[in-house]
């Protein structure tokens, strides 16, 4: 039986690998060759770099399973190393678009070669427990880059990008925009399932929470417009000092990708240039903007523990689940994730089947939600992969829940994303909490 189950799990890892590689190719399938090379901001990366980098990461894993592993090419490694000092001095991230070699064709050849090396490894007798774990990290790493690619494609092309798959959005149900009350006490936070999770979701540990209220829906454009109309961007009193500096420096007057024309707000996204939809969650706001809105509204951002408890805890049954709807893998009716292929956030009330026992909607999918928590290791944190997560335990805030750009395999209630406080090219929104 043990051998059978090992074989089965190798088989499913192999399938996961192939699916992940196919989806990376699918995301860039309709690009013109010229699109692959351009870097439109220092914080985005050219598509060519992503395609190469996710492949390079499999080389990193291969090198950790075989001391004599020979990297494909030093030139490729130098260009494709993002930030791993253990593999030499990484290049300046802001200059990835200045590099014409390796060429796009060479990067695709590299992609195929590395895929084949991984397939050979899977077919060998070297796939032990450690190797399985490392390759699982590598699939998840590739999925994270698929989402980054979505952010970058919006920055680079927006609606000029033609996705291979695009579905119609669901009709939302009638809703009441309210907040729900959650009972405090000790809450065991972190991943408690038996599948894969990142090191930063562990160990599960107890935190004490006061009673609190949290919004049943993410903050909508219509709510956020009230903040804008009330001159929220013009009044320092709502802003953290660093946030106010940023507002002045960058001349922020609205979320990223918004434009005002004849007194009407428009957004430029994958669906084109369109009027801001009042019922969609607000998107492309920084932590500073989310925090300022909350202050203006007389509320606050939730901590990540408060967010997680509202998403995954069933007070009646006294149990925690992996997702707000239970332990089943996400389906099209649960949440708006990458495989929904909607290419935008959906109106609130679009996923009644995905709501949490506490009554919170759209916690998974649509937009990542800023929390007020600093990104750091949980008490008892042990690294699962050197330099992957723990070197970022400073100056970042945690976001929870995933977005319409997040692959299904990447997300669960305990997943912790993290970004710097001023970043807003990601698919980021928020919901408010309150003390009771």
Give the interface with Fe ion as residue ranges (CB under 5 A). Answer: 82
User: CA–CA separation, 68 vs 195, rounded Å?
Assistant: 31
Of residues 138 and 182, the one with the C-beta less far from Fe ion: 138
Of residues 312 and 399, the one with the C-beta less far from Fe ion: 399
Residue 144 CB, nearest approach to Fe ion (Å): 7
Pull the structure tokens for residue 397. 């805030």
Residue 81 CB, nearest approach to Fe ion (Å): 9
Q: SS3 letters for 72-141?
A: CCHHHHHHHCCCCHHHCCCCCHHHHHHCCCCCHHHHHHHHHHHHHHHHHHHHCCCCCHHHHHHHHHHHHH
Residue 57 CB, nearest approach to Fe ion (Å): 6
Pull the structure tokens for residue 284. 């492309």
Of residues 402 and 413, the one with the C-beta less far from Fe ion: 402
Of residues 82 and 91, the one with the C-beta less far from Fe ion: 82
Of residues 65 and 82, the one with the C-beta less far from Fe ion: 82
Residue 90 CB, nearest approach to Fe ion (Å): 11
φ and ψ at residue 282, rounded to 5 degrees: -65, 145
Angle between helices 2-28 and 129-156 (to 10 degrees): 20
Of residues 54 and 127, the one with the C-beta less far from Fe ion: 54
Residue 174 CB, nearest approach to Fe ion (Å): 42
User: CA–CA separation, 15 vs 127, rounded Å?
Assistant: 15
Of residues 375 and 430, the one with the C-beta less far from Fe ion: 375
Residue 50 CB, nearest approach to Fe ion (Å): 9
Residue 141 CB, nearest approach to Fe ion (Å): 6
Residues with Cβ within 8 Å of residue 316, at least 6 apart in sequence: 357
Residues with Cβ within 8 Å of residue 337, at least 6 apart in sequence: 330, 364, 365, 402, 403, 404, 406, 407, 408, 411
Residues with Cβ within 8 Å of residue 386, at least 6 apart in sequence: 86
φ and ψ at residue 208, rounded to 5 degrees: -95, 130
Of residues 16 and 82, the one with the C-beta less far from Fe ion: 82
DSSP 181-238: EE--EEEEES--SSS---GGG-S-EEEEE--EEEESSPPBHHHHHHHHHTTGGG-GGG
Of residues 18 and 82, the one with the C-beta less far from Fe ion: 82
Look at strands 185-189 and 433-435 and give their pairing: unpaired
Residue 55 CB, nearest approach to Fe ion (Å): 11
User: CA–CA separation, 289 vs 399, rounded Å?
Assistant: 14
Residue 173 CB, nearest approach to Fe ion (Å): 38
Strand ranges inside 338-407, DSSP E: 368-374, 397-400
φ and ψ at residue 80, rounded to 5 degrees: -95, -5
Of residues 76 and 239, the one with the C-beta less far from Fe ion: 76
In the bound state, the residue with its beta carbon closest to Fe ion is 82
φ and ψ at residue 121, rounded to 5 degrees: -60, -40
Residue 239 CB, nearest approach to Fe ion (Å): 32
């Amino acid at each position: 039986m043990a051998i059978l189950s090992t074989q089965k799990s190798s088989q499913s890892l192999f399938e996961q690998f192939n699916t992940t590689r196919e989806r990376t190719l699918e995301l860039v399938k309709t690009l013109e060759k010229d699109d692959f090379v351009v870097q439109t901001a220092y914080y985005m990366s050219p598509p060519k770099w992503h395609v190469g980098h996710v492949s390079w990461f499999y080389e990193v894993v291969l090198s950790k399973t075989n001391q004599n592993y020979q990297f494909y090419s030093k030139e490729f490694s130098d260009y494709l190393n993002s930030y791993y000092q253990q593999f030499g001095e990484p290049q300046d991230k802001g200059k990835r678009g200045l590099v014409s070699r390796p060429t796009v064709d060479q990067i695709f050849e590299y992609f195929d070669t590395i895929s084949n090396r991984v397939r050979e490894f899977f077919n060998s007798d070297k796939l032990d427990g450690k190797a399985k774990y490392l390759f699982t990290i590598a699939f998840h790493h590739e999925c994270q880059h698929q989402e980054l690619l979505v952010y970058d494609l919006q920055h680079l092309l927006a609606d000029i990008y033609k996705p291979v798959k695009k579905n119609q959005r669901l009709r939302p149900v009638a809703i009441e925009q309210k907040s729900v009350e959650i009972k405090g006490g000790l809450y065991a936070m972190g991943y408690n399932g038996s599948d894969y999770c990142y090191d930063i979701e562990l160990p599960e540990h107890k935190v004490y929470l006061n009673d609190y209220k949290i919004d049943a829906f993410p903050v909508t454009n219509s709510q956020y417009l009230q903040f804008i109309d009330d001159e929220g961007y013009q009044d320092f009193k709502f802003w953290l000092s660093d946030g106010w500096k940023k507002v002045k420096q960058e001349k922020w007057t609205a979320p990223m990708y918004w434009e005002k024309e004849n007194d009407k707000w428009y957004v430029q996204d994958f669906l084109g240039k369109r009027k801001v939809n009042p019922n969609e969650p607000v998107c492309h706001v920084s932590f500073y903007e989310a925090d300022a809105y909350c202050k203006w509204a007389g509320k606050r951002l939730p901590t990540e523990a408060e967010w997680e408890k509202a998403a995954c805890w069933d007070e009646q049954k006294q149990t925690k689940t992996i997702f707000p709807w239970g332990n089943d893998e996400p389906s099209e009716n649960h949440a708006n994730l990458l495989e929904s292929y909607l290419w935008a956030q959906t109106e609130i009330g679009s996923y009644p089947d995905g709501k949490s026992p506490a009554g919170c909607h759209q916690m998974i999918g649509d937009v990542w939600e800023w929390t007020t928590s600093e990104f750091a290791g949980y008490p008892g944190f042990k690294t699962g992969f050197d330099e992957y997560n723990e070197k970022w335990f400073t100056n970042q805030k945690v976001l929870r829940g995933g977005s319409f750009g997040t692959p299904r395999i990447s997300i669960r209630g305990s997943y912790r994303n993290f970004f710097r406080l001023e970043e807003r090219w990601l698919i980021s929104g928020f919901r408010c909490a309150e003390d009771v």
